[in-house]
C-alpha cells in the first residue's frame, strides 16, 4: 500500500532525496526543466502535469526518462507509460521539448499528498523531476447502524443497516461484523452499490438459549471490497438475565396394550441453580416418575413419564409442566401422544374346522396370518395332536401389515382304520394368542395301489438317422391327482419331454420320448424311472419298430417317404378296376334290353 505524503516533514524529506541522489552519482545535469508539476487527481478524474525540458549543452544530447518509486505506474508521458518502458529522445543544442504527464492514481489509493518521480538521464548524468499529486477523496461509503438493542436468551434482535455509495462510480461492498459470534448473526455479506445508491439491510442477532447474560459491544464495517475504503459504526447488544428452562419438543408413540415409559429432556437455561418439580396433565393413568431435583445452569435431565395401559387408540395430548420452586415460575409445553395398537394379528385364512382324509394320502392346508399391529412381530404356529399332523414353518417374522403363510400337513399312515382325531392349532405372537380346533376324520384305505399310474407306449416316427420318437401314455385311475416329479432313464441317449407333470384324477397325460440309436433294432427296451408323490415306479417298456414304414394320423395311414412310389401304383389299379366295373354293368344292361 502506498504511503501518504502529508505534512511539512514528509515533503521536506522528499525534496532532499533528489539532491542526495544527484550527489551520490557525482554529476550535474546539463538540462533545465520547468512547468506545472503540482496537480490534483483521483482514479476517476486523472490530471495532466505539463513541463518542458531544454538542452543547455553545446551539442546534441540523448535523454532517457523513466518513472521510479511506488507511484511509477501512475504516469503516462506523452502517450507512453514510463514505469517499465523508458522514454528515449535526442535534442539539438538549445532545443526544448514539451512533456505532458497523464497522472492517474490507483483506485485503492487513500486520499493525501503523493510524489510521482521521474528519473532523467543524459550521458550518465542523472536528475529527478518530482510531480506533486494531491489524491482526492473519490471513493466513499456512508454507513448507518441502528441503535442499541436488548433481547432475552433465545430471542432475536434486529439492527437496521444503511449503506450509501458516495463514490464516483459503482462499488462492490462487503459487510463485516466484529464482536459477535458468527453463528449468532445473519445478514447480507456482499452486494453491488451503484453510484449514489443506498441499500437498507438487516443484521439479525439470535443469542443461543445458553448465552451468557451481559452486554456485547460490536462493530459493523462497510468496506469497498479489495480496498481500504470503508465506513464503520458500532452498537451494543444486551442479553437480559432470564431464568428459563428448555423443554424438549417431541411427540410420544405408545402401545395401548402395554405399560410404557417415555422420557423428555428438561434443561436449566438460567444463570443460577434451580429446584424443579415435574408433572403431567391431560391423559388418564399417565404420571411422572422423576422426583424433584436441582439443576445447575446449563444442566439437563431426562424426565421419566409412565404411560399405563390404554384401552383406546388414536391421537391425544398431554401438558408437561416444569415448576421452578426456587424462583416461583412455571413452564409448560403441549405434547402429542399417538396411541397405537402395536402388537396385533389377524388370521385371514383360518384352518378348516373339519378335515376328511383317506389313510395313506397326504393333505396340505394353508393358513394366512396378517400382522395388523404397527411394529414387527414374530408369529409362531404350532399343531398339537397325532404325530402325523405337523406344521411348518414354526416362526415367521412379519413387518407391519405384512401377511405370512403357514402350512399344516396331514399324512395318516396307510394302515390306519376309520377314526376321528382332534388337532389343536395355536398361533402366538407379541401380545397375541389364538387357537383353532380341527376335527380330522380319517377313513381307511380301500386298496393298496402298487403303482400310481399305468404306462403304455406307442411308436410315432422313425427318421433316417435312426432317431425314434414315441409317446408314453401315463394313466391315473385314482380319485386324486398324481404329481410326477421326474421321468428318467439310465441311458443318456433317451430324452423325455416334459419330465414334470400333474395327472388329474381319472385322466391320462402323454410324455414324448426321443431315442437316438447307433443301429436300428426291432424291439427297443426303455428302462423307466418315474418318481411321483405317491411313490417311485421303475418299469421297463418295449417299443416295437417293425412298423417303421407307417405313421398313424387319425383314421388314415400314410406311407413312409421311402415307398411313396407304391401310392400311384395302387391308385392306377383302383382306376382300372372301376373302368372294368362300369364297362361290365353297361354290357349287362344292353344284353337285358336285347333279350
Place of cell 529527478: 128
527 and 422 fall within a common domain: no
Element (H, E) at 577: helix 566-594
Strand order in the sheet with 507-516: 454-462, 467-476, 507-516, 494-497
**Cα dist from 37 to 100, 119, 332, whole Å:** 10, 14, 79
Residue-level pLDDT at 450: 47
Distance CA 223, CA 102 (A): 29
Residue-level pLDDT at 299: 92
249 and 236 fall within a common domain: no
**All cell numbers assigned to 320:** 408437561
171 and 226 fall within a common domain: yes
Domain that holds residue 104: 7-135
Q: Peptide bond preceding 393: is omega within 30 degrees of 0, i.e. cis?
A: yes
Distance CA 456, CA 532 (A): 17
Q: Which of 240, 265, 285 is the last residue of a domain?
A: 240
CA angle at residue 215 from 209 to 218, to 5 degrees?
A: 100
Q: Is 43 a domain residue?
A: yes
320 and 391 fall within a common domain: no
DSSP string covering 302-341: EEEEEE---S--EEEEEEEEEEETTTTEEEEEEEEEEEE-
In the chain the first and final C-alpha atoms are separated, in Å, by: 157
Residue-level pLDDT at 132: 93
**All cell numbers assigned to 8:** 511539512
DSSP string covering 178-245: ESS-GGGEE---EEEE-TT-EEEEEEEEE--TT--SSEEEEEEEEEETTSS-EEEEEEEEEEE----E
**All cell numbers assigned to 195:** 453510484
Task: Write the CATH number for 460.
Answer: 2.60.40.10
Closest CA to 376 of 337, 339, 344: 344
Distance CA 571, CA 45 (A): 125
Contacts of 575 (CB under 8 A, 6+ apart): none
Q: Is 468 a domain residue?
A: yes
548 and 593 fall within a common domain: no
Does residue 211 contact residue 220 with C-beta atoms inside 8 Å? no
Does residue 324 contact residue 243 with C-beta atoms inside 8 Å? yes
Q: Is 448 a domain residue?
A: no
64 and 120 fall within a common domain: yes
Tell me how many domains the chain contains: 6
**Cα dist from 285 to 88, 270, 282, 576, whole Å:** 103, 32, 10, 113
Residue-level pLDDT at 570: 60
Q: Is 560 a domain residue?
A: no
Distance CA 106, CA 133 (A): 12
Closest CA to 286 of 245, 256, 331, 248: 256
Does residue 485 contact residue 532 with C-beta atoms inside 8 Å? yes
* pLDDT values of the chain reduced to their tens digit, one per residue, 595 residues: 344 433 333 433 444 444 444 444 434 455 666 677 899 888 878 999 988 889 988 999 999 999 999 999 999 999 999 998 999 999 999 999 999 999 999 877 888 899 999 999 988 888 888 999 998 877 889 999 999 999 887 789 999 999 999 888 898 999 999 999 999 999 989 999 999 999 999 999 998 867 788 899 999 999 989 888 889 999 999 988 767 899 999 888 888 767 778 899 999 988 778 899 999 988 877 888 888 989 998 899 999 988 877 667 788 888 999 998 877 788 999 999 888 888 888 888 888 888 888 888 888 888 999 988 888 889 888 889 898 988 887 788 889 899 988 899 898 988 888 889 999 999 888 878 889 999 999 988 754 444 566 677 666 677 767 788 888 888 888 888 888 888 888 776 788 888 888 889 888 888 888 888 777 777 787 888 888 887 788 888 888 777 644 333 222 233 333 343 444 556 667 777 777 767 666 666 555 555 4
DSSP 3-state of 591: helix
Does residue 317 contact residue 339 with C-beta atoms inside 8 Å? no
Instruction: Quote the DSSP letter at residue 4.
Output: P
**All cell numbers assigned to 45:** 478524474
Strand order in the sheet with 377-384: 354-358, 432-443, 419-429, 377-384, 395-398
Residue-level pLDDT at 34: 63
Strand order in the sheet with 300-307: 245-247, 260-268, 300-307, 286-288
Does residue 518 contact residue 432 with C-beta atoms inside 8 Å? no
Q: Is 335 a domain residue?
A: yes
42 and 84 fall within a common domain: yes
Q: Is 1 a domain residue?
A: no
Instruction: Quote the DSSP letter at residue 93.
Output: T
145 and 70 fall within a common domain: no
Q: Which of 312, 340, 368 is the last residue of a domain?
A: 340
For the chain, the residue count is: 595
462 and 500 fall within a common domain: yes
Q: Is 193 a domain residue?
A: yes
Closest CA to 441 of 510, 358, 335, 537: 358
Q: Which residues of 279-316 are buried (b: 16+ CB within 10 A; e: fewer)?
A: ebeebeebebebeeeebeeeeebebebebeebeebeeb
Residue-level pLDDT at 591: 54
82 and 154 fall within a common domain: no
- Distance, C-alpha 161 to centroid of its chain: 41
Instruction: Quote the DSSP letter at residue 350.
Output: P
Instruction: Quote the DSSP letter at residue 290.
Output: P
351 and 331 fall within a common domain: no
Q: Is 559 a domain residue?
A: no
**All cell numbers assigned to 337:** 401422544
Task: Tell me the Cα Rg of the chain.
Answer: 57
102 and 192 fall within a common domain: no
Does residue 261 contact residue 306 with C-beta atoms inside 8 Å? yes
**All cell numbers assigned to 43:** 482514479
Q: Which of 102, 135, 168 is the last residue of a domain?
A: 135
Residue-level pLDDT at 471: 87
Amino acid at each position: 500500500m502506498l504511503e501518504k505524503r502529508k505534512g511539512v516533514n514528509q515533503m521536506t524529506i522528499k525534496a532532499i532525496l533528489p539532491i542526495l541522489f544527484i550527489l551520490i552519482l557525482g554529476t550535474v545535469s546539463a538540462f533545465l526543466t520547468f512547468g506545472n508539476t503540482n496537480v490534483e487527481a483521483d482514479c476517476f478524474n486523472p490530471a495532466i502535469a505539463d513541463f518542458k525540458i531544454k538542452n543547455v549543452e553545446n551539442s546534441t544530447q540523448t535523454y532517457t526518462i523513466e518513472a521510479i518509486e511506488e507511484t511509477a505506474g501512475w504516469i503516462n508521458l506523452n502517450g507512453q507509460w514510463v514505469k517499465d518502458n523508458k522514454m528515449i529522445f535526442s535534442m539539438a543544442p538549445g532545443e526544448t521539448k514539451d512533456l505532458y504527464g497523464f497522472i492517474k492514481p490507483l483506485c485503492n489509493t487513500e486520499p493525501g499528498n503523493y510524489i510521482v518521480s521521474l528519473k532523467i538521464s543524459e550521458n550518465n548524468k542523472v536528475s529527478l523531476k518530482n510531480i506533486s499529486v494531491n489524491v482526492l477523496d473519490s471513493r466513499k461509503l456512508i454507513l448507518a447502524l441502528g441503535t442499541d438493542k436488548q433481547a432475552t436468551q433465545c430471542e432475536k434482535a434486529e439492527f437496521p443497516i444503511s449503506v450509501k455509495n458516495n463514490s464516483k462510480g459503482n462499488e462492490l461492498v462487503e459487510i463485516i461484523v466484529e464482536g459477535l459470534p458468527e453463528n449468532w448473526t445473519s445478514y447480507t455479506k456482499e452486494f453491488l452499490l451503484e453510484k449514489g445508491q443506498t441499500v437498507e439491510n438487516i443484521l439479525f442477532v439470535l443469542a443461543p438459549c445458553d448465552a451468557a447474560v451481559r452486554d456485547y459491544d460490536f462493530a459493523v464495517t462497510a468496506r469497498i471490497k479489495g480496498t481500504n475504503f470503508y465506513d464503520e459504526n458500532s452498537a451494543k447488544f444486551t442479553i437480559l438475565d432470564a431464568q428459563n428452562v428448555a423443554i424438549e419438543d417431541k411427540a410420544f408413540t405408545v402401545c395401548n396394550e402395554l405399560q410404557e415409559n417415555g422420557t423428555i429432556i428438561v434443561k436449566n437455561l438460567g444463570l443460577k441453580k434451580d429446584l424443579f418439580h415435574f408433572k403431567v396433565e391431560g391423559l388418564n393413568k399417565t404420571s411422572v416418575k422423576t422426583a424433584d431435583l436441582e439443576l445447575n445452569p446449563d444442566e439437563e435431565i431426562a424426565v421419566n413419564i409412565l404411560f399405563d395401559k390404554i384401552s383406546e387408540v388414536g391421537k391425544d395430548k398431554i401438558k408437561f409442566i416444569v415448576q421452578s420452586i426456587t424462583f416461583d415460575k412455571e413452564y409448560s409445553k403441549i405434547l402429542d401422544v399417538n396411541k397405537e395398537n402395536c402388537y396385533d394379528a389377524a388370521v385371514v385364512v383360518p384352518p378348516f374346522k373339519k378335515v376328511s382324509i383317506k389313510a395313506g394320502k397326504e393333505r396340505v392346508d394353508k393358513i394366512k396370518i396378517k400382522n395388523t399391529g404397527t411394529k414387527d412381530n414374530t408369529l409362531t404356529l404350532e399343531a398339537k395332536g397325532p404325530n402325523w399332523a405337523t406344521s411348518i414353518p414354526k416362526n415367521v417374522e412379519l413387518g407391519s401389515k405384512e401377511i405370512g403363510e403357514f402350512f399344516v400337513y396331514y399324512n395318516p399312515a396307510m394302515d390306519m382304520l376309520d377314526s376321528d382325531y382332534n388337532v389343536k392349532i395355536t398361533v402366538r405372537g407379541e401380545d397375541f394368542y389364538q387357537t383353532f380346533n380341527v376335527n380330522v376324520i380319517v377313513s381307511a384305505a380301500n386298496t393298496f395301489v402298487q403303482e400310481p399310474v399305468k404306462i403304455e407306449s406307442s411308436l410315432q416316427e422313425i427318421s433316417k438317422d435312426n432317431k425314434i420318437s414315441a409317446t408314453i401314455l401315463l394313466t391315473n385311475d385314482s380319485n386324486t391327482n398324481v404329481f410326477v416329479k421326474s421321468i428318467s432313464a439310465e441311458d443318456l441317449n433317451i430324452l423325455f419331454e416334459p419330465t414334470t407333470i400333474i395327472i388329474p384324477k381319472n385322466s391320462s397325460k402323454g410324455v414324448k420320448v426321443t431315442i437316438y440309436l447307433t443301429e436300428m433294432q426291432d424291439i427297443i427296451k426303455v428302462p423307466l424311472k418315474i418318481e411321483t408323490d405317491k411313490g417311485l415306479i421303475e418299469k421297463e417298456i418295449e417299443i416295437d419298430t417293425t412298423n417303421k414304414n407307417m405313421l398313424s394320423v387319425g383314421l388314415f395311414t400314410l406311407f413312409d417317404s421311402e415307398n411313396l412310389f407304391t401310392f400311384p401304383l395302387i391308385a392306377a389299379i383302383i382306376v382300372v378296376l372301376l373302368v372294368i366295373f362300369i364297362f361290365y354293368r353297361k354290357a349287362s344292361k344292353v344284353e337285358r334290353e336285347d333279350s
